Amino acid sequence: MKIRLKRAYVPPDNQDGVRLLVERLWPRGQTKGKTRIDEWFKDVAPSQGLRKGYGHDPEKWEELRRNPDAVDRLR
């Protein structure tokens, strides 16, 4: 299976396949119809505090390990 990353602000393309959003907040100014997001995984995305404070330090990613069911669903 090929996985491609794309920002939610980039218009959808017929080649995209299933579109998954992994983010706590819905993209500002975007409607569900405009983004064509098939499923929104907000429970997998980092919290606001983690997003601001993780500093690309994997030791601080423990929060993401606390929700294995959501991560399994995404897989």
Counting residues of the chain whose pLDDT is more than 90, the rounded percentage is 29
Q: With contact defined as beta carbons under 8 Å apart, do 28 and 12 qualify?
A: no
Whether this model's pTM surpasses 0.85: no
Mean pLDDT of the chain: 83
What does the block give as tokens for 56? 């690309």
Nearest to 5 by CA among 29, 21, 27, 28: 21
Tokens of 57: 């330090």
Q: Is the dihedral of CA 35, 7, 41, 19 positive or negative?
A: positive
- The CA distance from 43 to 25, in Å, is 10
